[in-house]
Amino acid sequence: MAQILDGKWVRDQILSEWKDRATALASTKRPPGLAVVLVGNDPASEIYVRNKIKACQEMGIYSEKHTPPDTVTTEELLTLVHSLNERDEIDGILVQMPLPRQVDSRRILMALHPDKDVDGFHPVNVGNLVANIPGPRPCTPAGIIELLKRYKLPIAGKNAVVIGRSDIVGKPMALLLLHESATVTICHSRTHNLPEECRRADILVAAIGRPAFVTEEFIKPGATVIDVGINRLTQAAEMQMVFGDAPTRTIIGDVHPLQVSNVAGAFTPVPGGVGPLTIAMLMANTIQAAERHLA
């Protein structure tokens, strides 16, 4: 039976360790500060932001939420970002994506001060990641590395395959695995013989946004499978295709939830696997930014 990698267990460890550091800052200088910018009323984004604010409260991090309307212009949003950049009590700025179409997301990202970019997406921080220079790392990939290490799953010398080449997960995930001395392959929509490439992986990371796309033919027996996807099934036919006559659920990942346990040595469930790690690493990045600012 494959080992289930519990992201909540790892999250709780990370938060406990970093809460002590946040408490130390608050008692000697000031609490770490995080500003979250949520544009419009996207339901999924509202849930994400609510969870982030709740985590800040539990960690002793000062937080504030800015909610411009979905009619906001690029220039108006830039004004807000610049004002947050100038405030000493704000250590981290998070602009919740996606932004409305009329907003130039790249300009907003570039406007963040690199040292307050707790998502790790600013080009300066991307460069630091490539060069393996300390700095904020994208939260989801960094959380996955923490999970592998805390479960004592070896990375060095292993073949790692990442399905997906996004700036948020795929590319930084590949770089972090490379820095841990894995041999890394990035696959994507134009990769030939995708199942064959994936079967080479001792560590397989699926981050493509396609429900139950990775089936057992993609998985090397005994491999560690990390499922980054969060997909909602809305049609009964979709659920039957995945689960057959078994009990169904509506939230699944990019990996087939029934087939992975037949082949993998260890895997992350959805929900409860990678998801909890993202907010934990956001808290860690915010506290670390405060430590740099207050040093």
Residues tagged active-site: 52, 96, 119
Strands 224-227 and 203-206: parallel
> Residues 165, 206: contact at Cβ < 8 Å?
no
The amino acid occupying position 240 is: Q
C-alpha pair distances (Å), 173 with each of 13, 55, 104, 214, 263: 21, 24, 25, 18, 23
Residue among 227, 226, 217, 228 at smallest CA distance from 263? 217
Determine how many CB atoms are found less than 10 A away from the CB of residue 244.
Answer: 9
Collapsing DSSP to helix, strand or coil, 161 comes out as strand
The structure tokens 């995930």 sit at: 173
DSSP conformation letters of 109-146: HHHS-GGGBTT--SHHHHHHHHHT-SS---HHHHHHHH
Residue 192 backbone zone (phi > 0: left; psi -120 to 50: alpha; other: beta): beta
Residue 164 backbone zone (phi > 0: left; psi -120 to 50: alpha; other: beta): left
Cis peptide leading into residue 276 (ω within 30°) = no
Beta strand ranges found along 30-167 (DSSP E)? 33-37, 62-66, 92-95, 159-163
Any residues with CB less than 8 A from the CB of 33 and at least 6 apart, and which? 61, 62, 63, 64, 87, 89, 90, 91, 92, 286, 290
- How buried is 115 (Cβ within 10 angstroms: 0-12 exposed, 13-18 middle, 19+ buried)? middle
